Amino acid sequence: MTRLAELPYWTAADAAELDALTYELVDAVFDHRERGCTVCAAGVEPCPRVRAAIEVVACWRRRRILLSRAKHLRLRQELDHVLAELRELEEARCAA
């Protein structure tokens, strides 16, 4: 699994949202177990409902990584474009 903190495009906001989702997942799993799921109570592995909930959070994480990477690359591209325009303006100003 990717170490998110090492990714240049993984922001503090991304991390905070993942923390909130993970908290909700853990809270929901505890509630689920307290309601008496016999599969989860056995403690061997989570039942299909819990696995599905875990997969939802895992899918969100994968999508957020892709979206944050795309946003980062788009902003980088736009910044490079603006910097190139500024250089051209500065060169034109110096030549005049």
Binding-site ranges for Zn ion (CB under 5 A): 37, 39-40, 47, 50
The residue among 14, 18, 9 whose CA lies nearest residue 71 is 9
What the block records as the tokens of 94 is 């110096």
- Of 23 and 30, which has the nearer Cβ to Zn ion? 30
Q: Which tokens sit at 12? A: 């503090």
Please report how close the Cβ of residue 46 comes to Zn ion at its closest, in angstroms. Answer: 6
- For the bound state, the minimum distance from the C-beta of residue 35 to Zn ion, rounded and expressed in Å, comes to 9
Closest to Zn ion by CB, 10 vs 40, is 40
* 32 or 72: CB nearest Zn ion: 32
